[in-house]
Amino acid sequence: MVAVPKLSIILPSFRDARILEAIASVRAFDDIGTTQIIVIDGGSPQGLIDKIGTALLPQDTLVSESDRGIFDALNKGLERVRTPYVGWIGSDDLYTGAIRASDVVRQLEQHDLFIAALFIVRDTRIVRKTHAWPSAHGLARIGLHNPHYSTFGRFSLLGSERFDVADVGADIDYFLRILGRNPRISSTNKVALLQAEGGFSNSSVRKTLSVNRHVYKAYRRRTNFLGAAVSVALKLAYKVGSTGYYRCRPLYWPQIFPELFILIDHRRKFGA
């Protein structure tokens, strides 16, 4: 008997072959065989699309068409979820195996959100950490960043909102709306995800300033100008503090997650 999917993982991608490694990490994460991968591709070359299709199972979904960016892709993914629980990762992200699909399902049977920590990485080096506990205690609402891609939830909650595709700070705004509903949250200190450093907000000083202007507006919609300014300052201080910690105390993720390193190294060498 084929297991009915309980958890969907939305995976937005565009011209990024690392998605094949991300898919491999989802397969390793899925210890109960009830996880559906929903790939929303922005229109990559056919050769990559064929490889992605080969890596997917019949229960998975692959959509390849032009879109308006990652937030549009996430919205398209949410529209295709048919499972009670949902999460997401980027094409350059990897599940560590520290938590498994069974852990997620078990927690979401009793809670609305299950949040784990994540590492931001550059190649094999850990750049900084985003903890789960601030979100569990409501502190993400005042600037202590929510680890978006290691947050899982009931689809009835996460699917009730959409990302604003015109807002470069839409991820912050989305989770402020979600957390503003006072969901029942379970969290763990375990690091569920490796997220590659980079992205729009870190590509230049100008773009960093632009993103934080939008983030300020997101906080401002929920408080006064002083509260929004304090939230942005805390967000930046949290990021700078964690970056400084791992700069002074270098740490490499293959030392912590050797099984994941073996999996990815094997894929890179042999393509399987």
Q: Does the predicted TM-score (pTM) go above 0.85? A: yes
Digit-coded pLDDT (tens) for 245-256: 999 999 999 999
Q: Concatenate the DSSP letters of all residues of 141-153 into one string.
A: GGTS---GGGEEE
Q: Is the pLDDT of residue 130 over 90?
A: yes
Q: Is the pLDDT of residue 80 over 60?
A: yes
Q: Is the pLDDT of residue 200 over 50?
A: no
CA neighbor of 7 nearest in space, from 31, 43, 40? 31
CA neighbor of 259 nearest in space, from 80, 84, 97? 97
Amino acid letter at 153? G
- Whole-number Å distance between alpha carbons of 269 and 272: 8
> Taking all residues of the chain, what is their mean pLDDT, rounded to a whole number?
93
Hey, where are the domains in the chain? 7-270
- Whole-number Å distance between alpha carbons of 234 and 143: 5
Digit-coded pLDDT (tens) for 106-123: 999 999 999 999 999 999
Overall fold of domain 7-270: Spore Coat Polysaccharide Biosynthesis Protein SpsA; Chain A (3.90.550)
Digit-coded pLDDT (tens) for 26-75: 999 999 998 999 999 999 999 999 999 999 999 999 999 999 999 999 99
The set of residues, in sequence order, having a beta carbon less than 8 Å from that of 99 and lying 6+ positions away, is 29, 116, 188, 190, 192
Q: Is the pLDDT of residue 228 over 90?
A: yes
- Residue 122's H or E segment, with its range, is strand 113-122
Long-range contacts of 224-230 (CB under 8 A, 24+ apart): 227/142, 230/142, 230/143
CA 117 to chain centre: 11
Residue 33 backbone phi and psi in degrees, to 5: 65, 25
- Whole-number Å distance between alpha carbons of 136 and 187: 6
Burial class of residue 148 (count of CB atoms within 10 Å of its CB; 0-12, 13-18, 19+): buried
